[in-house]
C-alpha cells in the first residue's frame, strides 16, 4: 500500500490547529486569572524548547518511526513495551478529547441529544479521513486552516471594538506576585505544547528533501498558535472577568455569546463553535492516527487504515465510560493530568530518549546533517 505523505505546509497547518484546539475549548489559562498573558508567553517559550527536543529526537534517528526509535534505544522487547504504553496513551487522549468535544456539542448545539450518536457523528469523518490516508487529513487542514483564521480574526475585531471588553480587568499586574503562576506555567507548558509529542509519528511522513526545514515551519506554527491561544484567553478575561472565567465550563463560548454585533452578526458564538469543532477534529485525527500507527508497528499484519474502524468502536466505548461531572471534570483534566499522566509521556520518557540518543549519535551529527540535505 502506498505510503501517505504530508507537505510542509500541511504539517504546519496541522500543528497550528492541533495546538489551538482543546486548549481553546477549556481555556487552561483560566487558572492564571488576569495574568494569563504572562503565564502563556512563558509557557510558549518552554513549550517551544520541549518541541525542539522532540524534533532533535527525530533528527538524531533520521526521522524514523516512533517504533524504530524506541527499538533502537531499548531493544525489541523493552521498546515494544514502551510503544504499547504510548499507543494506550494516544488512544486514551483520543477518547478523552472525543468526550469533551461531544459534551460541547450537547451543551451548545444538540441539547439533550444522545451522546453515542454525537460521538458516532464525530468519529465517522475521522475514520473516513484515515481510511483515505493521512494525506487526506493534511489536504483538508490546508483549506480549513484559512476558515479558522478568518473566523478568529472576525471574533477579535468584533470583541476589541465592543463596549463589553475592558482592559481594566487585567489590572493590577502580578497582584499576588509571580509564585502563584509557577504551577500554571508548568500546566500550560504540557497542555497544549507537550501534546505535540504526537508529531514524532508525523515526522516520518514528511518528504526527505523538506526535513531540513521542519524546525523553521514548526516555530512559525507555534508562534501563530500561541497568538490564537493568547487572544482567546485575553478575550475571555476582558469580557467575563476572572471570577466568571473560572466558573464557566466553556468560557470561550460563553464570552463570545455575550458579544453582540449589529452590522454583520447578531451573535458571535456560532463562529466560536466553528473554531472549536474544526480544531478538535484535527486534534482527534492526529491523536487517533498516532495510536493506530503504534499499534500498526506492533501487529505488522494490518495498516492503520484497516485498524481505523474497529478501534473507533473501542474509542467510543472508552469515551462513554469516562465520568461526566461538569466543570469538575475540566478542572480534573487540567490539574491532575499534568501531575500524573502527561509528564510521563511528554517529559520523562522523551527526556530519557533524547539523552540516550545524544549519547549514542552525537559523533554522527555531521553525517546526519549531510543526509538530511540530500
Please report whether residue 369 resides in a domain. no
Q: What is the pLDDT along the chain (374 residues), one digit of tens a residue?
A: 445 689 999 999 999 999 998 666 776 666 777 888 899 999 999 999 999 999 999 999 999 999 999 999 999 999 999 999 999 999 999 998 898 888 888 888 877 788 899 999 999 999 999 999 999 999 999 999 999 999 999 888 888 887 888 888 888 888 788 888 888 888 888 888 999 999 999 999 998 888 889 999 999 999 999 999 999 888 888 888 887 777 777 888 888 887 765 555 667 778 888 898 899 999 999 999 999 999 999 988 889 999 999 999 999 999 888 755 444 444 455 455 544 667 889 999 999 999 999 998 876 653 444 444 43
Q: 267 near 257, Cβ under 8 Å? A: yes
Listed residue (283, 1, 230, 5) closest to 122, CA to CA: 283
Other beta carbons within 10 angstroms of residue 349's beta carbon come to 17
Please report whether residue 120 resides in a domain. yes
Beta-strand ranges (E) seen in the chain are none
Domain range enclosing 340: 8-357
End-to-end C-alpha distance for the chain, whole angstroms:
26
Please report whether residue 364 resides in a domain. no
Please report whether residue 58 resides in a domain. yes
Q: 197 near 15, Cβ under 8 Å? A: no
Please report whether residue 372 resides in a domain. no
Please report whether residue 350 resides in a domain. yes
Other beta carbons within 10 angstroms of residue 255's beta carbon come to 28
> Counting beta carbons within 10 angstroms of the beta carbon of residue 110, is it exposed (0 to 12), middle (13 to 18) or buried (19 or more)?
middle
Please report whether residue 373 resides in a domain. no
Q: Please list the alpha-helical segments (H only) found in 248-326.
A: 251-257, 269-299, 304-320
Please report whether residue 366 resides in a domain. no
Integer Cα distance of 104 and 171 in angstroms: 31
What contacts 114, CB < 8 A, 6 or more positions away? none
Query: What would the grid cell of residue 186 be?
Result: 508548568
User: What is the domain-level CATH number for residue 136?
Assistant: 1.20.1740.10
The tally of domains found in the chain comes to 1
Amino acid at each position: 500500500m502506498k505510503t501517505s505523505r504530508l507537505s510542509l505546509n500541511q504539517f504546519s497547518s496541522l500543528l497550528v490547529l492541533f495546538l489551538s484546539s482543546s486548549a481553546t475549548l477549556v481555556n487552561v489559562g483560566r487558572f492564571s486569572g488576569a495574568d494569563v498573558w504572562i503565564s502563556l508567553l512563558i509557557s510558549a517559550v518552554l513549550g517551544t524548547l520541549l518541541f525542539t527536543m522532540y524534533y532533535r529526537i527525530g533528527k538524531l534517528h533520521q526521522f524514523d518511526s516512533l517504533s524504530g526509535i524506541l527499538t533502537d534505544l531499548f531493544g525489541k522487547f523493552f521498546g515494544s513495551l514502551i510503544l504499547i504504553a504510548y499507543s494506550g496513551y494516544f488512544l486514551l487522549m483520543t477518547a478523552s478529547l472525543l468526550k469533551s468535544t461531544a459534551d460541547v456539542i450537547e451543551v451548545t448545539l444538540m441539547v439533550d441529544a444522545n451522546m453515542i450518536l454525537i460521538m458516532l457523528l464525530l468519529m465517522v469523518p475521522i475514520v473516513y479521513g484515515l481510511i483515505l490516508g493521512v494525506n487526506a487529513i493534511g489536504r483538508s487542514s490546508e483549506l480549513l486552516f484559512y476558515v479558522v483564521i478568518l473566523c478568529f480574526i472576525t471574533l477579535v475585531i468584533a470583541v476589541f471594538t465592543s463596549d463589553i471588553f475592558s482592559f481594566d480587568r487585567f489590572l493590577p499586574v502580578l497582584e499576588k506576585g509571580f509564585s502563584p503562576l509557577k504551577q500554571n506555567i508548568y500546566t500550560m507548558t504540557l497542555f497544549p505544547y507537550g501534546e505535540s509529542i504526537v508529531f514524532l509519528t508525523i515526522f516520518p511522513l514528511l518528504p526527505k528533501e523538506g526535513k531540513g526545514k521542519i524546525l523553521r515551519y514548526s516555530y512559525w506554527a507555534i508562534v501563530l498558535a500561541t497568538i490564537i491561544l493568547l487572544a482567546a484567553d485575553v478575550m475571555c478575561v476582558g469580557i467575563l472577568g476572572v471570577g466568571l472565567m473560572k466558573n464557566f465550563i466553556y468560557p470561550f463560548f460563553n464570552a463570545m455569546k455575550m458579544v453582540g454585533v449589529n452590522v454583520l452578526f447578531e451573535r458571535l458564538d456560532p463562529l466560536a463553535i466553528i473554531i472549536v469543532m474544526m480544531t478538535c477534529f484535527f486534534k482527534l485525527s492526529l491523536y487517533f492516527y498516532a495510536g493506530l500507527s503504534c499499534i500498526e508497528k506492533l501487529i505488522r499484519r494490518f495498516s492503520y487504515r484497516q485498524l481505523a474502524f474497529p478501534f473507533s468502536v473501542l474509542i467510543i466505548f472508552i469515551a462513554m465510560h469516562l465520568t461526566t461531572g461538569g466543570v469538575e471534570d475540566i478542572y480534573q483534566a487540567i490539574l491532575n493530568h499534568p501531575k500524573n499522566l502527561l509528564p510521563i509521556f511528554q517529559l520523562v520518557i522523551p527526556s530519557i530518549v533524547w539523552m540516550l540518543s545524544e549519547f549514542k549519535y552525537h559523533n554522527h551529527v555531521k553525517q546526519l546533517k549531510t543526509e538530511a540535505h540530500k
